[in-house]
Amino acid sequence: MIIAIDGPAAAGKGTIATGLADHFNFAFLDTGRVYRAVGLAMLEKNLDPADEDLAEKAAVSLSHTNLHTLLANPKIRDEATGLAASIVAARPKVRKALLDVQRNFAHNPYFPDNTKAKGAVLDGRDIGTTVCPDADIKFFVTASDEIRAKRRFKELQLKDKSVIYEHVLADMLTRDKRDRTRNIAPLAPAKDAFILDTSDLDIDAAIAKAIEHASTFIS
């Protein structure tokens, strides 16, 4: 059983994906972290994230043994890492290198302790359209630009009080635009996705709505 969750930054994908994975006892993969790991590898070596061949090398060298461990680096959630991720993610060679990593996880999901799971929840930008067009359940999670920027601002403020809302909004819109307009696997809802707008929903209500929808497919 594969659940695909796509949508723009800070729409609530991760929260909903975690809620669904917990509820159904499925393994969860945040595929944004996989792209972030490549972006971070480039930044940490002072390499230009737009250099496609070097970014491809970084993508290929990602360990396939336990993705959960690989993605635990705390710098992975930084805004700079997110921007670098969206640059490497627009390069076809990088996307190709990461496709099998994500598909293998979807079809053979495992928990952080390496035990097998009976289902997978993947969140990202192209899970329902490209990575797992065969997913059993697809969601496209969205919310207004302002609400998404406010959520991201609050999250970043916990780590850094000097963060500026206008900068967070601008960075988010830049990243969204790059994700929506790139030539390969652009961010877009799959034709058969359930659209879940979380603008007026709190966390519990958004998760409840997602579980209600998914339950119609899972007995």
Shortest reach from residue 150's CB to ligand C5P, in Å: 16
Q: Which of 82, 109, 119, 128 binds ligand C5P (CB under 6 A)?
A: 82
Q: Which of 15, 86, 129, 142 binds ligand C5P (CB under 6 A)?
A: 86
Q: Does 175 bind ligand C5P (CB under 6 A)?
A: yes
Q: Which is nearer to ligand C5P, 31 or 142 (CB)?
A: 31
Instruction: State the alpha helices, DSSP H only, in the chain.
Output: 13-24, 31-44, 52-60, 67-70, 79-88, 92-107, 145-157, 165-181, 203-215
Q: Does 129 bind ligand C5P (CB under 6 A)?
A: no
Shortest reach from residue 45's CB to ligand C5P, in Å: 19
Q: Are strands 194-197 and 27-30 parallel, antiparallel or unpaired?
A: unpaired
Please list, residue by residue across 110-134, b when 16 or more beta carbons sit within 10 angstroms of its beta carbon and e when fewer do: beeeeeebebbbbbbbbbbbbbbee
Q: C-alpha angle 99/105/21, rounded to 5°? A: 125
Q: Does 35 bind ligand C5P (CB under 6 A)?
A: yes
Q: Which is nearer to ligand C5P, 72 or 113 (CB)?
A: 72
Judged by the rule CB under 6 A, the positions of this chain that interact with ligand C5P are 9, 31-32, 35-36, 82, 85-86, 89, 124-127, 175, 179
